[in-house]
Amino acid sequence: MSIQVYGIPNCGTCKKAFKWLEDNGVEYEFINTKEDPPTRETIQNWVESLGSQPMRNTSGQSYRALGESKKTWTDAQWIEAFAQDAMLLKRPLVVKDGKAVLVGFRDKEEAMKAKLGL
C-alpha cells in the first residue's frame, strides 16, 4: 500500500492527519504542495475521484480572491484554478495507490480507516 499526503507543513489540519496516521501505524509520503505543486493531470484524476467541490479550500485567501464567478465554475475551470494555485486545494489530500481517497480531515475515524483500507 502506497499513501501520499499532499498539503503544507505548517497547516494545522495536516499536522492532525500526520499524527493520526503515525498513531495508526500508517506509513506515508508527505508532498508539500507549495514546493512541489501537483500537475494538471494529477489534479484532474483527483477531481474524477472526489469531485471538485470537496477539494476547494473555501477558508483560504486564494479562494476569497476568486470573486463571485467561482460559484458557477465547471470542474474543468476548477482543475485549471487548482493547477494555477495549489493553495486552492483543501488540505490534506490523501492518495492511496494512486487514487485520491480523502480530502480534509473531518471524517469519523471509522470512515477514514475504511477509505484508507485499514
Give bridge partners of residue 56 from the DSSP assignment. Answer: 89
Residue 77: what pLDDT? 97
Mean pLDDT across the chain, nearest whole number?
94
pLDDT band of residue 111 (cuts 50, 70, 90) is confident
Residues with a catalytic annotation lie at 11
Give bridge partners of residue 65 from the DSSP assignment. Answer: none
pTM, entire model: 0.92
Residue from 93, 89, 118, 88 nearest 105 by CA: 93
- 88 near 33, Cβ under 8 Å? no
> pLDDT of 57-86, one tens digit each?
999 899 999 999 999 999 999 999 999 999
Provide mean pLDDT across the span 39-58: 96
